[in-house]
Amino acid sequence: MSQATTKRGGFGGKLAAILAAAGSAIGLGNIWRFPYITSENGGGAFILIYLGCILLLGLPLLIAEFAVGHNSKCNPIDAYAKLRKGWGWLGAMGIVSVFLIMGYYFVISGWTLNYTIASATDSIGSDFGGFFSSFTTATWRPLIYTYLFIIANHFIIVGGVQGGIEKASKVMMPLLFAILIILAIYSLWLPEGREALTNVFTPDFSKVSGSTFLAAMGQAFFTLSVGMGAMLIYGSYFKDGTKIAGTAISVVSLDTLVALIAAVIIFSAGVENENGPQLAFVAMPKVFSTMPLGNIWATLFFLLLGLAALSSTISMHEAVTSYFVEKRGMSRNKGAIIVTVATILLATAASLSLGDWSDFKIAGMNIFSLLDNFTAIVMLPLLGILTAIFVGWLWKSEDMKAELTAQGGVDKATYPVIRFLLRYVCPVLVSVVFVFGIIEFIKNL
Ligand code: PHE
């Protein structure tokens, strides 16, 4: 099996662990996805349900995944197999899912790069929708930016856990927080911003339906990167003595804070009615163009999006690469190259599916939407249910207890709460929402 376990890399300390894991969590999910999902689902009421999902489902699952990684000190496949014979497939399922997510996530990441450059050089023009659609449906232009992004990601991974991931996180995360705070202060300073905000955050429960819960749960899992091995592999790099529960709470708090601040920035620009995924790429540049020093704000905004994306994609890549390195006995370089090449192929298909290949559809969806929907609607809930069952019921309970209480910093009184959430609340709640979601999805096909 894993010949590399003895000389595995690891994070230097607690701060590195928090920054890297927060980097994985904070991504396009927070700045691009959260605001538009919130506006599509009734604003404040959705946010309340979302916070419930984060606390009751996301946080316990994140603790569980960190614990599995930290206890086993293995890649996702060996980790589950080590804690219970015959369960390696659960790790494999996570790795496959995270790879499918990489396929479309890198495409959007490439867009952020193009938009950062276009904003800095003032070359978006005044037809914002036109710029977006002609760029994203073109053949080569989006591909080139996506490839550049994938290559940057590749070199961070090749640099190693401490020399690559940790170092990059320590530079990128503070920069990300600084940009976020500057943009937030600026938007709250605008009077129309403050007004837009009150409107959006006022809960309107008439808009809540069954699908609101599904959207909130999917968003909670996606934003915390749970179930897919990314957090597991980071947990496996935690230094002994890193408090698992404390780290998870820091990551969840930072992630939630960033999502809420991103929503403040976007909604205060008064664009909450612009629809869907184009919110960040069409509506925001339009708003920035009417502001003094608009180019600077736009450049900062897209740089923020790009940094968030990069710190997330390195965790996805690492989850898959660790499999090739530890399970297949390859060098880090070779493992990373395989993952990078495979990602380039999948991302190419996803990008082309918006333009040249848009006629090719499976179940009515192009490749890009298929990757997004399949992972969000099927794989994420399924992995959530299975991870909770694994940790709550199948992992030897004394081992889990020891991992969380003795080393993980969970006190004896809190442990039963986490265990209860993992054993009962997560499997039941996620299953109900999952079944409901699948039915809804099939009806809409
Ligand atoms: N959490 C990331 C985001 O919100 C996405 C992600 C998913 C990262 C899966 C790693 C693994 O954008």
Top mutation candidate among 105, 169, 222, 374 for ligand 1, by most atoms within 8 Å of CB: 222
- CA distances to 64, 97, 234, 260, 421 from 69, rounded to whole Å, are 9, 18, 7, 29, 19
- CA-to-CA distance for 293 and 300, rounded, in angstroms? 11
Q: What is the mean pLDDT of residues 250-269?
A: 92
* Maximum distance among all Cα pairs of the chain, rounded to whole angstroms: 62
Distance 327 CA to ligand 1 centre (A): 24
Q: What is the mean pLDDT of residues 249-258?
A: 97
Confidence of residue 4 (pLDDT cuts 50, 70, 90): very low
Enumerate residues 6+ apart whose C-beta is below 8 A from 3: 326, 329
Nearest CA to 285 out of 107, 118, 39, 36 is that of: 118
Distance 290 CA to ligand 1 centre (A): 32
H helix and E strand count, the chain? 22, 0
Average pLDDT in the chain: 92
Q: Which of 83-87, 196-200, 202-206 comes out lowest in average pLDDT?
A: 196-200
Nearest CA to 197 out of 142, 269, 303, 252 is that of: 269
Q: Which of 11-20, 207-216, 397-406 comes out lowest in average pLDDT?
A: 207-216
- CA-to-CA distance for 228 and 194, rounded, in angstroms? 38
Check if the beta carbon of residue 17 is closer than 8 Å to that of residue 247. Answer: yes
Which residues are paired to 244 by β-bridges?
Answer: none
Q: Which atom of ligand 1 is nearest to the CA of 223?
A: 4
Distance 138 CA to ligand 1 centre (A): 26
Check if the beta carbon of residue 255 is closer than 8 Å to that of residue 283. Answer: no
Which residue owns the Cα nearest ligand 1 atom 6? 225
233 lines ligand 1 (CB under 6 A): no
Rounded to a whole number of angstroms, the distance between the first and last alpha carbons of the chain is 43
Tokens standing for residue 269: 């620009």
Nearest CA to 243 out of 81, 405, 60, 68 is that of: 405
What pTM, to 2 d.p., does this model score? Answer: 0.94
Q: Is 345 exposed, middle or buried (0-12, 13-18, 19+ CB in 10 A)?
A: exposed
Tokens standing for residue 86: 């015959």
Torsion of CA 84, 89, 93, 95, to 10 degrees: 80
Enumerate residues 6+ apart whose C-beta is below 8 A from 122: 295
Q: Which of 2-11, 145-154, 177-186, 238-247 comes out lowest in average pLDDT?
A: 2-11
Which pLDDT belongs to residue 271? 66
Distance 375 CA to ligand 1 centre (A): 12
Which pLDDT belongs to residue 273? 58
Which residue owns the Cα nearest ligand 1 atom 9? 225
Check if the beta carbon of residue 189 is closer than 8 Å to that of residue 19. Answer: no
**Could you tell me what percentage of the chain is helix, strand and coil, using 3-state DSSP and rounding each to the nearest 5?**
80, 0, 20
Tell me which DSSP letter residue 268 carries.
H
- CA-to-CA distance for 347 and 5, rounded, in angstroms? 31
Check if the beta carbon of residue 372 is closer than 8 Å to that of residue 159. Answer: no
Enumerate residues 6+ apart whose C-beta is below 8 A from 84: 390, 394, 395, 396
Q: What is the pLDDT of residues 266-320, one digit of tens each?
A: 888 766 555 677 888 998 898 888 888 999 999 999 999 999 999 999 999 999 9
Confidence of residue 2 (pLDDT cuts 50, 70, 90): very low
Q: What is the mean pLDDT of residues 93-99?
A: 98
Distance 369 CA to ligand 1 centre (A): 17
- CA distances to 57, 60, 407 from 415, rounded to whole Å, are 15, 11, 12
Which residues are paired to 365 by β-bridges?
Answer: 362
- CA-to-CA distance for 317 and 157, rounded, in angstroms? 7
Distance 270 CA to ligand 1 centre (A): 27
Which pLDDT belongs to residue 5? 42
Q: What is the pLDDT of residues 310-355, one digit of tens each?
A: 999 999 999 999 999 999 999 999 999 999 999 999 999 999 999 9
**Residue that the structure tokens 């929708």 belong to:** 129
